[in-house]
């Protein structure tokens, strides 16, 4: 794979945790390519900033570990992690209470950009109603059963 030849949705969708781990173990460049492929498939709106983990600085241990934050509300950070050998699910969560708790937005056995997009859109909608802290968003998600 070259920089011009990003991972396709089909490739990402069919990779299981072990395959993602093997791909990431090729080195930092391959791990970055994997994360960039995921971000490319998300088709993020201009409302979101993206920070991709490079050397396990986020501590999740997954091959893909991405932090998405809202430009208008930087304290609202969404964590996206891929499946791995240890955890067989792609997960999207919203940390709150200074990271002591998380609200689960979606969980899937395969990479599903549409689910992730819907979770982000739900957060954008809640922020538009005036909720602007992770704690307020988590409470609103709990009330509505907001996990996607």
pLDDT in tens, 115-148: 999 999 999 999 999 999 999 999 999 987 765 4
pTM of the model: 0.89
Beta strand segments in the chain, E: 48-52, 65-70, 77-81, 90-96, 101-108
pLDDT tens for 13-24 read: 999 999 999 999
Distance of alpha carbon 35 from alpha carbon 54, whole angstroms: 9
């Amino acid at each position: 794979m070259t920089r011009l030849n990003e991972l396709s949705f089909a490739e990402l969708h069919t990779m299981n945790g072990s395959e993602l781990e093997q791909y990431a173990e090729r080195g930092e460049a391959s791990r970055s390519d994997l994360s960039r492929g995921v971000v490319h498939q998300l088709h993020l709106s201009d409302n979101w900033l993206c920070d991709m983990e490079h050397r396990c600085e986020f501590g999740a241990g997954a091959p893909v570990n991405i932090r998405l934050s809202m430009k208008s509300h930087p304290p609202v950070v969404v964590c996206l992690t891929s499946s791995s050998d240890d955890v067989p699910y792609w997960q999207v969560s919203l940390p709150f209470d200074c990271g002591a708790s998380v609200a689960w937005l979606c969980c899937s056995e395969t990479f599903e950009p549409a689910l992730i997009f819907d979770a982000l859109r739900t957060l954008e909608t809640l922020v538009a109603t005036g909720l602007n802290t992770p704690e307020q968003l988590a409470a609103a998600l709990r009330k509505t059963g907001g996990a996607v």
